[in-house]
Structures are given as structure tokens and as C-alpha cells.
Amino acid sequence: MRQCEKHELLFDITETQRGHYLLVMILPRSSLFAFLLFSLLLLSLTVFVKKWHFGLQEKKPFGDAARADGSTPAHHSLDKQLQERQQELELVDIAFLKIKSPDGFMDSPTDHSVNYDYRKISLDSTAKADIGCEELNGVKAVDFLGSGYTKKVMKAAMPEGGFVAMKSVNHQGIDMRLCVEDFQDSQGCQELVSFKLKKEIMLLQRLQHPNIIELKGQCQDSSVVGGITAVLEQGTPLQMIHLLQSPWEERFRVCLGLARLLKYLSHSPLGSVSLLDFQPRQFVMVSGEIKLTDLDDATIKEPSCQEDSDCLLQFPSRNFTLPCSSSGTCEGLNEMRNLYNAYRYFFTYLLPHQAPLLLKPLILQIMNATGDLKLSTNQTLIAFEELLHLYKSGLHLENLPSSIAKDYAVLKGVQSAGNVEYRCWPSYRQHGCVLSVHSAREAALICSSHPDCTSFSLSSQHTTWTGRLLASFRSGYSHLLPDVHSAVYMRRVKASGAVL
């Protein structure tokens, strides 16, 4: 019964949040009213944003991650539950060894992310993870980042500089409280609650990808850090509201990161991994790149089946039935669950909105195919990489009028000073109009379409993650300063025909 209440609460928040996304998307641009409304929204959001940090708000006190059929367990004794958790961990190991064994199949050798030796990454001695109990001994937590039913996350400063996130069991969390209420055994409960974190550490050791948070170390010695602790790369919580306000290029980066992650998860060293709770709060951002940070709700087993109708994928607005394979498993179910979740939580909000006009047909194709689950994760990634290629190469701009460049006089080796800025949306800089462009020609086209724009600068020193240039548009400046990396383009003729 307690579980039901929690489900409802979470559902409510999700629906409210969805409302917010839509509102943000339809707000009229640059109107003061919209700006105020948005500030209000942000204010109301910050109240619960903290809880969403690091995906700490799990759905169930003891997530039935390995229980792919989603059945609710009967009331087990604590011992029984401990045994089950242990088996869950062993399952992860078995899956890993099976795939790594010489008789099993191996991932392609070109896949850089799987070249490591199992022995080096067993639970107690990690290969890459060089932060251990000893190193953690002197580390001080400097900030509280968030907490949830099971875990809490602290920001910690490393002695050699830099920050990490330290995840440990939340002794004040709901998981712990409910367990102690039920079993009056705080030692046993601590062990039970620790399993989620143990599983997460095991998965992080075996799943390594640029879009999965890096495990920097761990310690399981309670005399040192008070229980099991995972040391993670530090990220910032992913906020959809913030992303919706970002340039398309940054939103595309998030979707591409997800597409790459999903392909990896479908062919991971553990087999096909599915995230049962696939929502923005399971992810963080690290320097503009999306990274999965919460893995304890991952499942590595695909359900067994007798007929196709056993392989049902249910979502609130859509159901899918997958074929039951001859070996009696719902092959591809994990992959498709991830893909549809990526579609409904991320792609629909982030990808089509404000996309470059000439990329829209390809984007609509991707949206249509993922929304109907017509493509595998491999094929989806191919489509995304094609999008990236087009965008980077500027091929989608080939039809720009070349005459546009004639409307501008260029001064190389200078930058403007005493600028008179105007705002545009979505700008890389808050006070001013800074947009990414492929070339001076694209920038000229943009300047000509902004009534306030009289000049723009391009600097070879500032590029975006795709390598596009950052152009800064303005309505005036007072003088020019020498700068070898910069060029200033002045508009000769305003739309009114007046010569500057």
C-alpha cells in the first residue's frame, strides 16, 4: 500500500513537469511577460529539483530490477531478500563471464570500450578505479548534492585538486526506515540497502562508455567511510527546462549521446541492458555531455516467452508486441524499451524544436522511426551520425544564396569594442546575441534576418563541440581593436536601404 502511494506521487510530478516543458516550448520569445513567467516557473521548480539530483528518487523501496516480469514479491523474510540481492549480483557476474569466455561471443575488437580484463575489475580490486579506501580516508565532503530513498550523494574535494561525487547509503532514507520498521534488524537492513549500491558499482565497473558516469573508485570498508561508497565523476543534474532553453546544437548533443549510449547498452559486455527507470533524473551533464549516473534499476535479462503476446512492451500512450524468438526469449525487448523511453522522454522534447530547416526531414524520419520502434539502436545511431555529419560539414547549407556575402564588408585581424548588444534566442551568451554558424555566409544570412543587426564578429578561437564558429551579432560598436584571431563583418545596407 505504501508503494502505491509513492507511485502516484511520482506520476504527479512527472505529469506536472511535462506540462512545464510544453509551456516553455510554446512561450512567445523575448517578451517580458514570458520571461517573468519563466522565472516564476524556475522558482517553483527549484523546490523539487534538489530531489531529482542524481536520480536519487527511486520508485520502489527495494527496486525489483532483476524482476523483468515486474511481479511484486510476496512478503519475504529479510534473509530471503538478502539472498535474492546476492543472486542478483551473481547474475551480473555470470552474464559478464559468459560473454567474456572464449566460447562465448565477443564484441567487435574495434569497440574500444570493452578492452579490459575481468580479473582487474572484480568488486574488491578495480582496474581504472584508483581511488580506494586509503585515498578516501582524508577526503572531506564539502557539499550535499542530493539524497533519495536509498542513497545520498556528497560533493568531495580531492587532495590533489578537483571534485568528485561520493555516493553512499542513505541511513535516513525511506528504504532503510521501512526495512527497520518491518524487520527490527538495523544491521541486516543496512546490508540489504547496500545491495543497490553494490550492484551499481558492479555495473559501472563493467559498463564503460563516454555517456556513462565514470567510476573513479570505491571503498567497502565501513571503518573508513562508514559503509560502501562509490566515487564518481562529478556532474550537474540534467534539467530539461534548462536544455529546452539551449541552442539546438546542445540539445542535439544530448540526443546523440543517448543514441550512442543505447547502442552500447544493447551490445554491452553484460548483454542487452535495459534501464527500467529511464528518465532525465537518471542522468547528469558533464561539460555538455549527457551521462547515465543511476544504474541500480538496470536489468540484464530479457523475459522468456512462449508466444509473441508474452513480449508486451507497455507505455502510457502506446503498447508494442515484440516477436518471441525460437529460443523462447523476447529478444530485443530491452533495447526497444530503452529506445522508446529515449523517444518519449528526450527526443520529442529536444530534437525537432528549432532544428535547422534543412535537417528537419531527416529529423522527422528519425522521430517517426523511433516513435514506432521501426529501427534498432544500431540503425538509430547511424541516422544520428548522419545528422551530425550533415550538420558539421555544412552540407545542409549548400543552397544558401552566395550573394549575401556581398552585403558585408570584412575587416580581418580586429575585434569590436564598446559594443551595443541586442538579445536573441537561444543565445550562447545571456547579454547579447551569440549563435553558432558554419561560415561567415551563414552568419551573414542570420544578421540580415535580424532587424537590429548591423555587424558581427567571428573568432577562430571560439568553437562549439561540433567545431562550428561562434558568431557574435550586435547593433553597433564604438571602435575596433587589433585581434589576429578575429574578423568583423559590417553590414553595408540595412533592410530600409540606408547605407551605414
Which cell numbers in the block locate residue 86? 546476492
By the 8 A CB rule, do 225 and 136 touch?
yes
Closer Cβ to ligand NAG, 293 or 380, answer by number: 380
Contact in structure between 466 and 388 (CB atoms under 8 Å): yes
| C-beta closer to ligand NAG: residue 306 or 317 | 317
Return d(Cα 449, Cα 360) in angstroms, integer.
20
By beta-carbon proximity to ligand NAG, the closer residue of 271 and 432 is: 271
Q: Please report the beta strands in 170-286, taking only residues with DSSP state E, as ranges in sequence order.
A: 215-219, 229-233, 236-237, 274-275, 283-286
302, 331 in Cβ contact below 8 A? Answer: yes
Q: Please, what is the minimum distance in Å from the beta carbon of residue 110 to ligand NAG? A: 8
Contacts with ligand NAG, 28-67, as mask; x by CB under 6 A: ----------------------------------------
Alpha-carbon distance of 229 to 318, in angstroms, equals 39
Looking at residue 430, the DSSP 8-state letter turns out to be: S
- Residue 368 in contact with ligand NAG, rule: CB under 6 A: yes
Among 71, 287, 306, 319, binds ligand NAG (CB under 6 A): 319
Cell digits for 330?
523476447
- The alpha-helical segments, DSSP class H, found in 287-439 are 333-342, 348-350, 360-371, 377-393
User: Quick one: which segment of 58-66, 226-234, 243-251, 311-319 binds ligand NAG (CB under 6 A)?
Assistant: 311-319
Alpha carbon distance 118, 273 (integer Å): 18
Does an H or E element contain 375, and which?
Answer: none
Q: Which is nearer to ligand NAG, 155 or 267 (CB)?
A: 267
Residue type, 411: L
Angle between the 377-393 and 333-342 helix axes, to the nearest 10 degrees? 40
Question: Residue 341 is placed in which grid cell?
Answer: 523511453
Residues in contact with 277: Cβ distance below 8 Å, sequence separation at least 6, in sequence order: 55, 58, 59, 63, 294, 297
Q: Of 312-320, 327-335, 400-408, 412-420, which segment contacts ligand NAG by CB under 6 A?
A: 312-320
Stretch that binds ligand NAG, among 314-322, 404-412, 440-448, 486-494 (CB under 6 A): 314-322
Alpha-carbon distance of 231 to 167, in angstroms, equals 6
Distance CA 152, CA 146 (A): 6
Q: Is 389 in the site for ligand NAG (CB under 6 A)?
A: no
Nearer to ligand NAG, 317 or 402 (CB): 317
Task: Please identify, among the stretches 198-206, 251-259, 367-375, 491-499, the one whose residues bind ligand NAG according to the rule CB under 6 A.
Answer: 367-375
**Binder of ligand NAG out of 321, 376, 459, 475 (CB under 6 A):** 376
Q: Is 314 in the site for ligand NAG (CB under 6 A)?
A: yes
Q: How many residues bind ligand NAG (CB under 6 A)?
A: 11
Among 101, 378, 460, 463, the residue binding ligand NAG under the rule CB under 6 A is 378
What is the rounded radius of gyration, in angstroms, for the C-alpha atoms of the chain?
26
Q: Pick from 302, 301, 280, 306: which is nearest to 291 by CA?
A: 280
Q: Nearer to ligand NAG by C-beta: 349 or 428?
A: 349
Contact 466, 392 (CB under 8 A): yes
User: What would the x/- binding string for ligand NAG be over residues 255 to 284, using CB under 6 A?
Assistant: ------------x-----------------
Q: How far is the CB of 369 from ligand NAG (least distance, A)?
A: 8
Residue nearest ligand NAG (C-beta atom): 371
How far apart are CB 372 and ligand NAG at their closest, in Å? Answer: 5
Residues 102-121 that bind ligand NAG (CB under 6 A): 108
321 touches ligand NAG (CB under 6 A): no
Other CB atoms within 10 Å distance of the CB of residue 432: 16
Which of 64, 175, 277, 297 is labelled catalytic? 277
Contact between 309 and ligand NAG by CB under 6 A: the answer reads no
* Site for ligand NAG contains 360 (CB under 6 A): no
Take residue 36 and report the three cell numbers written for it: 517573468
The only residue of 318, 360, 429, 485 in contact with ligand NAG, by rule CB under 6 A: 318
- Told to check if 188 binds ligand NAG by CB under 6 A, we report no
Q: Smaller CB distance to ligand NAG: residue 172 or 317?
A: 317
Does the active-site annotation cover 277? Answer: yes
Cα distance between residue 93 and residue 253, in whole Å: 33
Active site residues: 277
In the complex, the residues that contact ligand NAG under the rule CB under 6 A are 108, 267, 314, 317-319, 368, 371-372, 376, 378
